[in-house]
A and B are shown apart, each in its own frame.
Chain A
Amino acid sequence: MASSGNKNINAKLVLLGDVATGKSSLVLRFVKGQFVEFQESTIGAAFFSQTVAVNDATVKFEIWDTAGQERYHSLAPMYYRGAAAAIIVYDITNQASFDRAKKWVQELQAQGNPNMVMALAGNKSDLLDARKVAAEEAQTYAQENGLFFMETSAKTATNVNDVFYEIAKRLPRLQQAPNPSGMVLVDRPADRATGASCCS
C-alpha cells in the first residue's frame, strides 16, 4: 500500500506478465539504467527499490519483479498483496502474452487493492517489424479497464522511466489533502462485487 510520510511515499509495485516479456529488463533499465541480454533468471520474484521525484514529493518504489512458469503463478498473491501499483507487461511481438496480460488484469481487479494503479506495458517496441499486437487494440483495452497504457522498450530505454513516473503521479496520497496538484486519479468503478474481499 502507498504509505505517506510528509512528502515521501513508499509504494509497493509488482510486475506481472508472461515469461520473457521483459519484466526484469524493464526493472533493470529503470533501476540501473542497463540492458543485459542474459540475466540470471529469477525464482519467485526479485526485489528492487528506486526513488523518483514527482512534483512536490518523492516516491520510493518497492518493486517485486515476479518470474516463472505457470506453476509459479500460485505464488503471485504474495507479491501483489497490498501493492499500490502494478505493471502488467506483454510483448508486442507475441499475441499470447497480450492474452495473458488480460488475465492478470482480471486477477488484480478481483483480488488486489481496489485503489491499485495499474499500467499496461507493451514491451519490445523496438521490434516493430515483428509486431503482433496493435497499439490501438491495447490502448482501447486499457481505457476500458481503467489502466494507463504505454509501449516501452527496455532495450532502447524508450518510455521505461515514463511508466514509473506516470505511476508515481497517479498514486493516491492517502492521508494527505485530497488531490492538491491536480493529480489524475485512476478511473475505475469503486463498487465491485468482489472488490471488498481481499486476498486470502
Chain B
Amino acid sequence: MYGGGSSGTQSKRDMAIEYQAQIPILRPSIHARRANMTVKFQDLYGFTVEGNVDDVNVLNDVREKVREQGKVWWELECSKGPNWYLEDSHVFSSFMNGITLKRLIRKGIPPNLRPTVWFSLSGAAKKKSTVPDSYYRDLTSAVEDKITPATKQIDHDLPRTFPGHSWLDTPEGHAALRRVLVGYSFRDSDVGYCQGLNYVAALLLLVMKTEEDAFWMLAVLLENVLVNDCYTSNLSGCHVEQRVFKDLLTKKCPRIAAHLEAMDFDVSLVCTEWFLCLYSKSLPSETTMRIWDVLFYEGAKVLFNVALAVFKMNEEELLRAHHVGDVINVIQRTTHHLFDPDELLTVAFEKLGFMITTNISKQRKKQEPAVMAELDQRVRRLNSLNGDDKQ
C-alpha cells in the first residue's frame, strides 16, 4: 500500500489514490459475525483499525458516501469549471459559492480532491507563493545536519508517531516527517518543535500530494488557522482555548458541565489532546480528515464544535458516570469508534445552535490575561521554591 515504491512522496501519493479507487468492500467472515469478534483492517489512510462487525459495516457505508460526495464535486467541476471554489472575480457569484462551499465542505471533501482544496482554501498556496520556489528545498538542506533540542525531541518521537502505520513507520516515512518537523522548527523558533505536531504533520503527509505541501499546510495551520501560542513556551494559547471551551460547555451543555464539575472532573483532562493533536490521536482517520476539511475553511472554532458534540452525544451516559474512569471510558469508547463522520459532524454543526465566531474571539481576548497571570504565578512559585533551596 503506502510506501510500496521507493521513489518519494509523489509515488506514494499516486498509489494511495489508486488504492482508494480500488478499495474492496470489506466482508467480515461468517465466523467473525457469529462470534462478534473484533477484526483488524486497514482504513482509507493506511491505519490498522480494530473493530467489530458493525464498525466494518459502518466503514463500508462511509466509503459509499465518500464515493457519492465525489460525484457531487465532480459535477460541480463540470458545471462551474475546475477550481471553481477559488473564483472570486464576481462578488455575487463568490457569495453564492461561499454558501454552497461551506455546506459542501461540511459534507466532506472527497479524499482525492483534499490536497488541492485544502492547499488553496487554507491559504497555504498563497503563503507558499510569497517566497522563492526553492524555499523548502533550501530550508531542509540547510538544516539537515543541525542538532538542537528540537531535533533531538523529534528524533525521539519519530518511531512513536503512529507506530505500525504501513508508510509512516518506515524509514521513508520517518525521514519525510523529520524533514517537515525539523524544517518548521527552524522556520519558527518560538514554536521550535512541540510534541503533538508530530501527529498533525504525519497526517498532513498522508493527505498532501508532496512533502513540501504538507510543510506549507503545517505552516498555515500554526501561523493562521489556529490561535497564537498554542504550541509555544508554556502552551498559553492552548490554556486559553481550554477556558473558552469550558464556558461554551457550560452554555451549550449545562447539565453535563454541572455534573462533571460536581465530580471534580476537569474537561481539559480530555480536551487538551484533542486541541493539540487536532483529534488525530483520538478519532478514526477519515473522521479526523472531515474535521480538518472544515477547520481549514472555517477556522479554529471548529475544534470547539466537535468537542461539544462528543460530550453532547454522550449526555445521558455521562450523567450516569460517577468516577473519572467512567467518564474517560465513555468518551474514549465513543471517539475510537466514530467511524461515521456524519454522526459526529451533524451534531457538531446542526444540533448545538449558533456559535458566533466574533463572540469566540471576544472570549479568547477575555481569558488571555487570566491565563497569563496563572501561568506566571506558577513559574514564580516554582522559582521561589528553588530559591529556598539554595539558602
Which A residues contact B (CB, under 8 angstroms)? 10, 12, 19-20, 38-41, 43-45, 47, 49, 60, 62, 64, 67-69, 71-72, 74-75, 77-79, 81-82, 103, 106-107, 110-111, 200
Q: Could you name 5 residue pairs across A and B whose Cβ atoms are closer than 8 Å?
A: A41-B161, A43-B273, A62-B325, A71-B232, A110-B385
Q: Which chain A residues border B160 with CB–CB below 8 Å?
A: 38-41
Is B269 in contact with A69, judged by CB distance below 8 angstroms?
Answer: no
Residues of B within 8 A of A39 (CB): 160, 163
For the complex, is B175 an interface residue (Cβ under 8 Å from A)?
A: no
Which B residues are closer than 8 A to A by beta carbons? 153, 156-157, 159-163, 194-196, 198-199, 231-236, 239, 264, 266, 268-269, 272-273, 276-277, 281, 323-325, 328, 374-375, 377-378, 381-382, 385-386, 389
> With the chains together, A62 CA to B161 CA distance in Å?
26
Contact across chains for A49 and B374 when beta carbons are under 8 A apart: no
> Inside 8 A of A106's CB, which chain B residues have their CB?
382, 385-386, 389
Least distance between A45 CB and chain B CB atoms (Å) = 7
Q: How far is the CB of B286 from chain A (nearest CB, A)?
A: 19
B234 touches A74 (CB 8 A): yes
> Taking CB as reference atom, which chain A residue is nearest B264?
A82
Partner of A41, one of B195, B239, B377: B195
Contact B156 A20 (CB under 8 A): yes
Given A38-B159, A40-B163, do A75 and B382 touch, yes or no (CB 8 Å)?
no
| Minimal beta-carbon separation of B156 from chain A (angstroms) | 7
CB distance from B273 to the nearest CB of A (A): 5
B325 contacts which of A49, A82, A110 (Cβ < 8 Å)?
Answer: A49
Secondary structure of the B side of the interface? Answer: helix
B272 nearest in chain A by CB position: A44
**In the complex, which of the residues A12, A20, A38, A41 has the most CB atoms of chain B within 10 Å of its own CB atom?**
A41
Q: How far is the CB of B385 from chain A (nearest CB, A)?
A: 5
Q: Taking the nearest CB of chain B, how far is it from the CB of A150, in angstroms?
A: 24
In the bound complex, CA of A39 to CA of B195 (Å): 14
Residue of B nearest to A20 (CB): B156
A49 to B328, CA, bound (A): 10
Residues of A within 8 A of B195 (CB): 41, 43, 67-69, 72
Q: Are B378 and A74 in contact (CB under 8 A)?
A: yes
Rounded to whole angstroms, the CA-CA distance of A87 and B320 in the bound complex is 31
Q: When A44-B276, A47-B269 are in contact, do A62 and B385 touch as well, CB less than 8 Å?
A: no
Q: Are B157 and A41 in contact (CB under 8 A)?
A: yes
Contact B235 A47 (CB under 8 A): no
Nearest A residue (CB) for B156: A20
User: Across the interface, do A71 and B325 meet the contact criterion of CB distance under 8 Å?
Assistant: no
Q: A68 contacts which chain B residues (CB < 8 A)?
A: 195
A111 to B382 Cα, complex, angstroms: 10
Q: In the complex, which residues of chain A have a beta carbon less than 8 angstroms from the beta carbon of B323? A: 10, 62
Dominant secondary structure at the A interface = mixed
Q: Given the complex, which residues of B lie within 8 Å of A40, measured CB to CB?
A: 160-163, 281
Minimum Cβ distance to chain A for residue B81 (Å): 42
Are the C-beta atoms of A69 and B385 separated by less than 8 Å? Answer: no
Are A107 and B385 in contact, with the CB atoms below 8 A? yes
**Whole-angstrom CA separation of A77 from B195 in the bound complex:** 19
Residues of B within 8 A of A81 (CB): 266
Q: Which residue of A lies closest to B276 (CB)?
A: A43
Report the nearest A residue to B388, measured CB to CB: A106
Q: Are A74 and B272 in contact (CB under 8 A)?
A: no
Q: Within the assembled complex, what's the spacing in Å between the Cα atoms of A41 and B277? A: 12
Kindly provide the distance from the CB of A70 to the nearest chain B CB, expressed in whole angstroms: 8
Alpha-carbon distance between A45 and B281 when the two chains are bound, in angstroms: 13
For B198, the chain A residues whose CB sits under 8 A away are 41
Min CB gap B124→A, angstroms:
24
Closest to A68 in B: B195
**CB < 8 Å: which of A47, A60, A62, A78 contacts B266?**
A78
Query: Which 10 interchain pairs have the tightest Cβ spacing?
Result: A41-B160, A74-B234, A44-B272, A49-B325, A38-B159, A43-B273, A106-B385, A47-B328, A43-B196, A62-B324
| Further contacts, 10 of them, CB under 8 A, given A43-B196, A43-B281 | A38-B159, A38-B163, A40-B162, A43-B195, A47-B325, A69-B194, A71-B232, A71-B233, A75-B235, A200-B377
Task: Across the interface, name the chain A residue whose C-beta is closest to B157.
Answer: A41
B239's partner among A47, A74, A82 (CB-CB below 8 A) is A74
Indicate which residue in B235, B268, B277, B328 contacts A71 across the interface (CB closer than 8 Å): B235
Write out the residue numbers on chain B whose beta carbons fall within 8 Å of the beta carbon of A45: 269
> A111 vs B161: C-alpha distance in the bound complex, in angstroms?
33
Chain A positions within 8 Å of B234 at CB level:
71, 74
Q: CA A12 – CA B385 in complex, angstroms?
A: 25
**Residue in chain A with minimal CB distance to B153:** A69
Structural contact, A75 and B157, CB atoms closer than 8 A: no
Q: Which residues of A contact B272 (CB under 8 A)?
A: 43-44, 75, 78
Using Cβ atoms and an 8 Å threshold, which residues of chain A touch B385?
Answer: 103, 106-107, 110
- Closest CB of chain A to B90's CB: distance in Å? 45
Among candidates B161, B163, B324, B377, residue contacting A12 with C-beta atoms closer than 8 Å: B324
- A72 and B235 form a contact (CB under 8 A): yes
Residue numbers in A under 8 Å from B273 (CB-CB): 43-44
Query: Once bound together, how far apart are the Cα atoms of A39 and B163, in whole Å?
Result: 7
